[in-house]
Every structure is written in structure tokens, then in C-alpha cells.
Amino acid sequence: MERLAGELGLQLVPGHRSLFASGLLEGRRVVLALPQTYMNDSGAAVGSLVRYFKLDPATQLVIVHDELDLEPGRVQLKYGGGLAGHNGLRSVAKVLGTQDFWRVRVGIGRPGGRVEVVGWVLSEPRGAEAGEFDLGVELAHAALRDLVVLGPERAMTRHNARGAA
């Protein structure tokens, strides 16, 4: 969000339990937000913004989130469906009363061995892993842009068919 805001010349400001900005992306109105709640309560921030900007979650909301079920450096677009145990998505779905919204799933992979998932999700990537995460951020940025500009079908065709590179 920070990269896209900078690219669009927008400044993220506090409000709605988020840092947010509203502007245009190739002629289309966008609202960018970084919830400032705990991840497990991110629905409070999303719900506030959806109500304030009168957004239809089914067609005008995109959640960018980490995804354990995708390897690092992989990004996928998805509409609706299950929450895969993701507490942030669960919070958003509970507040909105629906799981029908767009997601940009950014792969972080599952930890190996006996590493706990919570520790894995909250830790900073290191070494080669950091490069894979950086690639994931780049691909997520492109996927989000394409979802808004090209539309869902073309964006999914472009990004979901990709491998890790």
C-alpha cells in the first residue's frame, strides 16, 4: 500500500483505525488502507472504511494478505471462498457479514520442522528467503494494479498462471 500510495502521489493519513488515502489509479477511484489494529481485529478498520466510502465489498474491496499455503514469492488472486484459518480474513468476513471479496494472496510458505506458525508469520525473513518475500511484494503490487486497471478476468489470467518468478 505504501508503494502504491507513493506511486500515485498520495499520502497515507490516520483515520478509520488505519492509515489511508483516496485517489485515482488510471482514472479509477481507489482507497488504500493499512489497518492499524491488531491483525485479528482488522475487520474493524476495513468495516469503517467500507461504510465511510460506501463501498460494495463484493465488487470494490480487495484485501492483500499473507498466505501460508503459497510458497514465498508466489501471488494469487482469489474471489471469496474459505478463510484458510487466517484470523485477519476471519475478522473482515465477520464485520462485513460475507466472505465474498477479492484477495491478493501473497505467499509466505509454511515453516519447516517444529517452528510454530505464529512465530513464522511474525518473524522477519532472512537471506534467500528475504529475496523471495521481496519478489512477492513486487508481484502483489502488480496484481493489485492489474485487478483495478485490467479487471478480474485478465488480472487472474496474468497472475494466477505464474510460478514463483
Q: What distance in Å separates the CA atoms of residue 103 and residue 128, rounded to the nearest whole number?
A: 26
Cell 496474468 sits on residue: 158
Question: Which helix (DSSP H) or strand (DSSP E) does residue 118 occupy?
Answer: helix 117-122
pTM of the model: 0.89
Instruction: Tell me the fold of 2-160.
Output: Rossmann fold (3.40.50)
Local structure of residue 112 (DSSP, 8 states): P
Taking the alpha carbons at both ends of the chain, their separation in whole angstroms is: 21
- Domain map (residue ranges) of the chain: 2-160
Q: What distance in Å separates the CA atoms of residue 116 and residue 150, rounded to the nearest whole number?
A: 38
Q: Give the pLDDT confidence of 72-127 residue by residue, as tens digits.
A: 889 999 999 999 889 999 999 999 999 999 999 999 888 777 767 777 777 787 77
Helix (H, G, I), strand (E, B) or coil at 141: helix
